Amino acid sequence: MSARVTNISQGWAWKERDASIASVLDEVSPTASEQWMKAAAFPSEVHVELLKAGRIPDPFIGFNEHEVQWIGETEWLYRTTFDVHETERRWKNAELVFEGLDTICDVYLNGKKILYADNMFRTWRASLSPENLQDQGNVLFLHFKSAQKLAKELEATHGRVRAGSCNLGDPSRVYVRKAQYNWRWDWGPELMTCGPYRAISLVTYTARIDAANTRALVSAAPALSPSLKVDLVVAGDASAVRGAKIVLGRLDGSVIREEEVSLGGGAGLKDVIGWDLEGKVELWWPVGYGSQTLYNVEISLLGEGGGLTASQGEAVLDTLTRRVGFRTVSLIQEPLEEPDRYGKGTTFLFEVNGVRMFMGGSNWIPAHNFLTALSADDYRAWLTLLRDGNQNMVRLWGGGVYEPDVFYDICDELGVLVWQDFQFACGVYPAYDSFVQSVRAEVEDNVKRLRHHPSIAIFCGNNEGASSSSPHASLCAHVRPDYQMVLQWGGIDALPARVLYEEVFPAVVAEHCDPPIPYHRGSPYGGKGWDTADPTMGDVHQWNIWGGKEWPWQEYPFNGGRFVSEFGIPSFPDVKTVDYWLGGNTKDRWAQSKMMAQHDRAGSHERRFAIVMNENFRLTDDLETHIYNTQLMQSEAISLAYRSWRREWRGKGKQYTAGVLVWQMNDCWPVISWAIADFFLRAKPAYYTIARELRPISVGLFRTFYEFGAFRSVSANIEVWGANATLSARDVRLELSFVDLYSGWEDSKTVEATLLPNQTTEIASMRVPGPPAENANSVDTSYSVVVGARLVDAASGEILARYADWPQPFRLVDFPDPGLDVKVEGEKVHVKVQKPVKGLLFTADEEGEDALGRRETVRWSDNAIDVFPGDPQVVEVRGLAGKRVKVRAAYMGCERGRVVYGQ
């Protein structure tokens, strides 16, 4: 008979620990206290339970975050009862499996302590003996203690360290293996979660599959021959195992190959099968390069009674199914053939199935402060939004969590590559023995859980907190300083976590990953002397723009690197999201109010916003106009970075920039942040401009000019290039339009070109024309000229890409009325203009959303668009269903209201 897995998901209740009762076990009985509450759902998190029970206000509204701080300082109890089926009593082995306990928890079964858990990221197993279990009424009791208090106790023992700033949580957080963002971050609240946040099950067995490494192997290019090998680790009575049956099948259930094999004794079994699958399976490809073909590998553990044919049910001791894809992935760091503006250095690029690919994507933080509020549908909606935005990589940041299996399953299906940080962020972490042991087990659990996913492209040791040597260090000669944060701080004379990033983690990844998965010590990491700001090696986080040195966003083209894994500009979210957190408060409905500050967590945000907004936009006291301006600012800045850095993917030997990942894709609550889509899945303008920059074929334009005084150019020049992510050359026609904003003057030029495959191609360089000058001594008249570029397929005439370059700064532009013509026909919006229009943003009426995860339902195929005369555009809309369409654009100059179309 097969191993039996029983989910313990029913009958759960919870309560606050009563400090007046000496023994926690005296609180187990439901009659011992009238405070036990039925859990609204399981898995469970205490804030969600309290919220649903009406005992706390919504922490995401107003100042309510401050009203719930007591929860993190409190101890919490969970209990349930379960029966044991008579067949389960006959097995030799039984264990309780806890897939996620948040975080410090004593576990009792029938009054006996069976487990102490102190790591949120581990899968915990408690082996049970026959006397532990009863036929009926087994009481499972969980006592959660304050992770916040434990962190301070450990800090008192081991010492206070540097860990980010006051906006990145209390430094004591580094001592507890709990999601670091729970202590607050510069985009999130301080909400110390607690509870059994992932599944709990009872497993009974004679022997079971403890681990299976389904090694979907592919030989090196150009052969790319697929094969499959399987390694097994058996738990329980290995002597009861006679063999295994391995079945490789398609997702529709059809079988490609199957085999029964005899197994010798012992728990660890290497190369149980080795199949050549040439011509029998297809490769898995990232989105845009081929299909995401997946297969099921089903493993049955066979015992006595039925022979190796497994024709009798009692012969199957355990089964396990893994979904795999066949692909290779490599991180290529090789010398460049020629230097760029930064020097020569080395590449930092990903190669999949022998194809070098430019990575365009974003960073991911947990999509909710309360993880149990997220469903599989939520993850699919987020990742589909990411994929539909032409992104092919997501970086799971090191201060959150290792996401549940469904997250990676969806990435496999969508073809989105995953950069997986281990969960360390912005701090000097300890490395005393028990801490290292716990972390090693955590990393082993998650590497073994994730390694079979074809979407996993890299494991990374940490975020902004790993070891390196640097000329900036003020450290002892024998100590190499931490990566980014420590370089900034200086004065750190010991970095114990180097043993994790440089020894433990790479050893675990190497031991458990075959085919191999690249490992990178930290993000950022690399550079001359391991200087993490060195743009010629490794990856960089570019925060001198917006943060750091507060350079203008227009400096992005000159401040890239080999792989920019973090950078960003913040903005307000949709006004509907702002109104949600205002909770009906009209007094604070202005940009710099107390309640806005409550939902704007980053240090110096007001000062930094003031600098960049004053430099580029006209001041306004209208909230919706201010929101739009911050979003336009974010959109213009981020798209410039993607466009100019993607330009540096110049072909073999000159792949100077191989990836751009914006900070950040998403939010964990309603907030002003760097996210390109807010908490309610409402995409900001930046999402759409990034999507345009990451299309398979895009066009870029850069205007260089010399200004004196204000808004007057002595001369101006444009450079135009095309980016082609496909693996075939494309003949195109570049169509340039020049339109003066202040007169009726127009001009146009056409250039024929061939876009080389998998790189950028420079197409044109020319002086920007302008209307006739009044006299020979006049300044260049191109200062008021908007330049529009279109790439058109030379054969079919299909419009492949658009881009418009506008005079800047925008505060000095007198935008003319464009003669906007908008028509809504079903789920299509038709737009044409008489004069160029900037940043045309469509929104639709939506009902309010709640804090537990309802999502925006209207989806635009494109948005925040620039429209030129003679070039009408059509935007498709899903979910419009008769809703009114509203439009805002930079041309209006009005401080109130928006133009409304539709009923």
Bridge partners of residue 378, in order along the sequence: none
Burial 402-423 (b: 16+ CB within 10 A, else e): bbbebbbbbbbbbbbbbbbbbb
- Each residue's pLDDT tens digit, 551-582: 999 999 999 999 999 999 999 999 999 999 99
Report DSSP state, residue 500. Answer: I
Same domain as 41, residue 181: yes
Please, what's the largest Cα pairwise distance for the chain?
A: 101
The pLDDT score that the predictor gives to residue 50 is 98
The pLDDT score that the predictor gives to residue 132 is 85
- Each residue's pLDDT tens digit, 642-667: 999 999 999 999 999 999 999 999 99
The pLDDT score that the predictor gives to residue 897 is 45
The pLDDT score that the predictor gives to residue 604 is 85
The dihedral of CA 343, 347, 348, 350: what is its sign? positive
**Domain of 831, in residue numbers:** 815-903
Same domain as 783, residue 847: no
DSSP string spanning 391-459? --EEEE-TTS-PPPHHHHHHHHHHT-EEEEE-S-BSS-----HHHHHHHHHHHHHHHHHHTT-TTEEEE
In a domain, 775, yes or no: yes
Q: Which two tokens stand for residue 132?
A: 């532990």
The pLDDT score that the predictor gives to residue 606 is 87
Report helix, strand or coil for 604.
coil
**465, 525 Cβ separation under 8 angstroms:** no
Q: Which of 648, 623, 493, 454 minimizes the C-alpha distance to 556?
A: 648
- Each residue's pLDDT tens digit, 859-890: 999 999 999 999 999 999 998 888 888 898 87
User: Does pLDDT of 470 surpass 50?
Assistant: no
Same domain as 24, residue 60: yes
User: Does pLDDT of 17 surpass 80?
Assistant: yes
Mean pLDDT value across residues 93-116: 97
pTM: 0.94
Same domain as 80, residue 176: yes
- Each residue's pLDDT tens digit, 184-209: 999 999 999 999 999 999 999 999 99
In a domain, 739, yes or no: yes
User: Does pLDDT of 903 surpass 70?
Assistant: no
The pLDDT score that the predictor gives to residue 895 is 35
Give the integer Cα–Cα distance in Å for 470 and 481: 7
Q: What is the mean pLDDT of the chain?
A: 91
Same domain as 856, residue 799: no
Q: Look at residues 796, 811, 826 and tell me which one is the last residue of a structural domain.
A: 811
Mean pLDDT value across residues 680-696: 97
Same domain as 280, residue 175: no
Q: Tell me the one-letter amino acid at 32.
A: A
In a domain, 238, yes or no: yes
Same domain as 301, residue 177: no
The pLDDT score that the predictor gives to residue 851 is 44
533/708: higher pLDDT? 533
Least-confidence region, from 414-418, 620-624, 752-756 = 620-624
Dihedral pair phi/psi, residue 638, rounded to 5°: -65, -40
HSE on the CB side for 260, CA within 13 Å? 14
In a domain, 474, yes or no: no
User: Does pLDDT of 898 surpass 90?
Assistant: no
In a domain, 760, yes or no: yes
The pLDDT score that the predictor gives to residue 658 is 98
User: Does pLDDT of 672 surpass 60?
Assistant: yes
Mean pLDDT value across residues 229-243: 93
User: Does pLDDT of 756 surpass 70?
Assistant: yes
* Residue 269 pLDDT level (bands cut at 50, 70, 90): confident
The pLDDT score that the predictor gives to residue 469 is 31
Least-confidence region, from 312-321, 509-518, 565-574, 784-793 = 312-321
The pLDDT score that the predictor gives to residue 709 is 52
Q: Which of 45, 413, 464, 648 is an active site residue?
A: 464
CATH code of the domain in which 848 resides: 2.60.40.10
Mean pLDDT value across residues 19-23: 93
Same domain as 893, residue 782: no
Mean pLDDT value across residues 314-330: 94
For β-strands 393-396 and 417-421, DSSP reports them as parallel
Mean pLDDT value across residues 147-152: 97
In a domain, 314, yes or no: yes
The pLDDT score that the predictor gives to residue 85 is 80
* Residue 59 pLDDT level (bands cut at 50, 70, 90): very high
Same domain as 145, residue 50: yes
User: Is 155 among the residues known to form the active site?
Assistant: no
The pLDDT score that the predictor gives to residue 157 is 96
In a domain, 497, yes or no: no
Q: Tell me the one-letter amino acid at 255.
A: V
Q: Look at residues 811, 836, 863 and tell me which one is the last residue of a structural domain.
A: 811
Torsion of CA 485, 488, 492, 494, to 10 degrees: 40
- Each residue's pLDDT tens digit, 28-40: 987 766 689 999 9
Same domain as 721, residue 705: yes
Burial 78-106 (b: 16+ CB within 10 A, else e): bbbbbebeeebeebebbbbbbbbbbbbbb
User: Does pLDDT of 679 surpass 60?
Assistant: yes
HSE on the CB side for 534, CA within 13 Å? 23
Percent of the chain residues past pLDDT 70, beyond the cut? 90
Mean pLDDT value across residues 345-369: 98
Same domain as 807, residue 820: no
Q: Look at residues 324, 339, 370 and tell me which one is the last residue of a structural domain.
A: 324
In a domain, 164, yes or no: yes
Same domain as 291, residue 192: no
Mean pLDDT value across residues 373-400: 97
Q: How many structural domains compose the chain? A: 4
Percent of the chain residues past pLDDT 90, beyond the cut? 80
Mean pLDDT value across residues 764-787: 86
